[in-house]
Amino acid sequence: METIFQLIAILAVVVGTLFSVVGVVGFIRLPDVYTRLHATGKVGVFGVVLLLFAAVVGQPLGWGRGLVLISLLMITGPATAHALGSAAHRIGLPRQGAVRDDLVHASKSKS
Amino acid sequence: MGTLEIIFTSILYISLLIHIVLMSVAFYRVWRGENVIDRLLGLDLLSTLTLAVLVLLSLISQQVIYVDVSLGLAALGFVGMIALAKYVADEQMF
């Protein structure tokens, strides 16, 4: 049983590191603020959550504290991404290859 | 201290090294960003990667205190990033 938990922890650490690498490579390579926002969401939600899962399954952390931090990350990550994307649209940053803009009236109507 | 333990520890150190390299890349993007949202995005990424490094340190040294520090860091980073995004969008804080 100990061996199975150790293997699960190793797999979670490897996959989480892979997600972090993919997120940062997307943050460098993608052409636009909005697509970069899409790429960096992977680091917050998948990378750190899988590392925390490894920390819960492998020894040091209990389930309670791990679940608190995992739920905090899963709530605050999309909220931060939404705030940054809304700010980028509000100050009118350019989009590359966008077909249409669904928020073209929303930025003028509310303050 | 079996073979699996040694493999796990070496994978943890390699992952820590990879995360520190990723942090330096994100810091470079904060330093030479294209626009303000790009720099804020790099700052958010830097905060998240600091969280990952703290969790990895907790896994390496088998101590829970690093995860408590990362809990406070996550909450502060969330509030600061929301406030900075609202300040950039509206040019006022409240």
Rounded to two decimals, the ipTM of the complex is 0.86
Percent of chain B residues topping a pLDDT of 70: 99
The domain spans of chain A are: 2-93
Percent of chain A residues topping a pLDDT of 70: 93
- The closest of B51, B26, B57 to B39, measured between CA atoms, is B26
Q: How many CB atoms lie within 10 A of CB B63?
A: 13
pLDDT band of residue B14 (cuts 50, 70, 90) is very high
Coil, strand or helix at A55: helix
Residues in CB range of A14: below 8 A, 6 or more apart: B11, B15
Q: Which helix (H) or strand (E) holds A7?
A: helix A2-29
Q: What pLDDT sits at residue A106?
A: 65
Query: Angle at CA A66, nearest 5°, toward B18 and B2?
Result: 60
* Residue A89 and residue A56 in contact, taking contact as beta carbons nearer than 8 Å: no
Is some CB atom of chain A closer than 8 A to the CB atom of B16? no
Q: Across the interface, do A58 and B59 touch by the CB < 8 Å criterion?
A: yes
pLDDT band of residue A18 (cuts 50, 70, 90) is very high
Its domain, for residue B27, covers 3-90
Among A1-5, A54-58, B47-51, top mean pLDDT goes to B47-51
Is some CB atom of chain A closer than 8 A to the CB atom of B43? no
Q: How many domains is chain B partitioned into structurally? A: 1
